[in-house]
Each structure stands twice: as C-alpha cells, then as structure tokens.
Amino acid sequence: MYTGRNLEELSMTPLTDWNLDELSYHHFIMAQMSPYLNQQGASLHRQVIKEIENRGNQTWNSQTPNIYDHF
C-alpha cells in the first residue's frame, strides 16, 4: 500500500524532489489511467518517466526479491 504524498501535494514540488517510491507509484497509476489522461496529465506522465530514467530506471518493484513456492 502506498503511503506517500498524493499528487495534489506533489504538484507543487519539482520532480527532482520526489522520492523514487513516489515517482514509481504515480508512474504506475498514470500508466493504468493513460487512456483517460488529458494533455496536462499525459505531459506529467512523460516528465515522471524521464525523471525515473534520469535516476537509473529503477522502479518500486525492481528490487523486490522473487519468492518461489516449492511444492
């Protein structure tokens, strides 16, 4: 469950000041909502993607270890 700052709070914060969890979470949500985003939302989504790429393309789930069930 995401417990970080919401988009209303983050809208007044430069993307460089967002932490990686915030970038990754909001990228995931905007990707799911992409067919419904207006021009401003699509522009923000592109900026979020660029910021993630600038930081080395790490996302919130890229460091999660895989867990395998062995039956």
Instruction: Give per-residue pLDDT as tens, 59-70.
Output: 555 555 555 566
Residue 65 lies in a domain: no
Q: How far apart are CA 36 and CA 55, in angstroms?
A: 27
Kindly report whether the global pTM for this prediction surpasses the value 0.95: no
pLDDT at 4: 86
- Overall number of domains in the chain: 1
Give residue 34's domain range: 13-54
Residue 5 lies in a domain: no
Dihedral sign, Cα of residue 47, residue 54, residue 10, residue 59:
positive
Residue 60 lies in a domain: no
**Does residue 15 register a pLDDT over 70?**
yes
Residue 70 lies in a domain: no
Residue 4 lies in a domain: no
Q: Are 18 and 60 in contact (CB under 8 A)?
A: no
Residue 21 lies in a domain: yes
Residue 71 lies in a domain: no
Residue 18 lies in a domain: yes
What tokens were used for 24?
Answer: 């990754």
pLDDT at 5: 92
